[in-house]
Amino acid sequence: MKVIILAGGGGSRLFPLSRTLFPKQFLKLNGEESLLAQTIARFLPMVKPTDMVVVTNQEYIHHVQTELIAAKAQGAHILLEPVARNTAPAVAFAARYCLEKLGCTPDEIIYVTPSDHIIRPIDTFIENVGQAVKLAKQGKIVTLGIQPDHPETGYGYMQAGNPFGGGFAVQSFREKPDQETAEAYLAAGNYYWNSGMFAFTIGCFMSELQAYQPAVYEVAEQDLLAMTEDFAQMPNISIDYAIAEKSKELVMLPITAEWNDIGSWDAIYDVFDKDSDGNALKGDCTTIECSNTLIWGHSRLIAGIGLEDILVVETDDVIVVAKKGESQKVKELVGKLKEKGRVEADEHTTVYRSWGFYKVLGSGPGYKMKKIVVNPGEVLSLQMHYHRSEHWIVIGGTAKIMIGDVEQMLHENESIFVPQTTEYQLGNPGKLPLQIIEVQNGSYLGEDDIVLFDNHNAVI
């Protein structure tokens, strides 16, 4: 069995904690491990890291590499999508990778899973996966369903038909319903939430693609190099729409483990520990006469008085306040922010890069101040800015710097000036993180004011 972990999504429903450049799968919402690291850990009792393929994109590769190290699964494969094309093309890409690079045959079982769900206990989940694999060996497309416990409007629903192998043939798929329809599904008793997890043989999957999604199949039947080149030609379509809604081989297996996709702040409230008044509090929070309320603090004291059924989420740069039951509209909020060109929709004040990270400390007309941390042995690209100059002050570690043709070392409490339109490069030759305070001055301070050059003159 090969496990395909889908980790390329840039979900917005947990804004402001989740952003385009740091989406949900990399967040640590219920412990010291990210949701991606927890996903990897769930499968380690079943397969080796080398039997895992994490599908993501270039923007997230350093996040994925970090989480593989955290999960002690460095041997897992990372497959980079050339462009975003939803889950059906992503799974087809992974299937072709398994055939060509991992020596798989069409009879190989692949288990497809999102990277951002909470599932526990692991032992029960392992049993569920084992059942799914048995059904997949019979040539079925197996999906794991969740028994609903409330009329949720944020999930797709599957109608269970005739019993089959411990599960049910799927009679129909229903997309996210309105409240009245969701209540009817719950009352009917034979509707299950779609978990987004699937098991099937590669051969069965490719056959179903050929039958129901030829535009994906035509690209996927090529070799990996050609598929990579033609990836953008595939339609932007989910595996649910592409295959699950149409397949006559679809079987639903009810999952008996506890599952939550924590796809909204309401769902976060549901899984979080609560006090005697039903409040879920994280961070520096003080409440008076509050009940059934979530307050998620980050960098400051949050005080609530007389709140009931309210969601409050705070980060360095954004505070979101919503009524419970309305958090599915957070995605709509993010859409409005993007329409307005607000950087908060995409970035945190802390932005991670392959070499380390930077944090915006403050900004105003004509200036911006950052803290930059460069990991040991890392080097930034040779670059230049047209519209700004930069002052650097080293507050920790040792910097190796080239400005123009001059190369020098900079130590704690030492500073340097980088003029406009001057090529420069920064690296950390030491064994400790390099920490720098950077003050930018200029008429335009956008992150796109950067000209990158080849690294043939790298300072490290």
Q: How far apart are CA 344 and CA 337, in angstroms?
A: 8
Tell me the pLDDT band of 225, cut-offs 50, 70 and 90.
very high
- Can you name the residues that pair with 360 across neighbouring β-strands? 370
pLDDT digits (tens, 9 = 90+) for 370-409: 999 999 999 999 999 999 999 999 999 999 999 999 999 9
Distance, CA of 430 to CA of 426 (rounded, Å) = 12
Instruction: Give the model's pLDDT for residue 167.
Output: 93
DSSP 362-399: EEETTEEEEEEEE-TT-BPPPEE-SSEEEEEEEEES-E
DSSP 8-state class, residue 247? -
**CA–CA dist 38, 7 (Å, integer):** 13
Q: Which two tokens stand for residue 282?
A: 């994280």
pLDDT (0 to 100) of residue 78: 98
- Quick one: which H or E segment has residue 211? helix 202-212
Q: What is the DSSP string of 398-431?
A: -EEEEETTEEEEE-TT-EEEE-TT--EEEE--SS
Give pLDDT, residue 155: 84
State yes or no: pLDDT of 460 exceeds 60.
no
Q: What is the pLDDT of residues 263-284, one digit of tens each?
A: 899 999 988 999 999 999 999 9
pLDDT, tens only, 428-458: 999 999 999 999 999 999 888 999 987 544 5
Task: Render pLDDT for 99-137 as a digit per residue (tens, 0 to 9).
Answer: 999 999 999 999 999 999 999 999 999 999 999 999 999
d(CA 389, CA 439): 8
For residue 456, the model assigns a pLDDT of 45
Domains detected in the chain: 2-263 (3.90.550.10), 267-329 (no CATH), 350-452 (2.60.120.10)
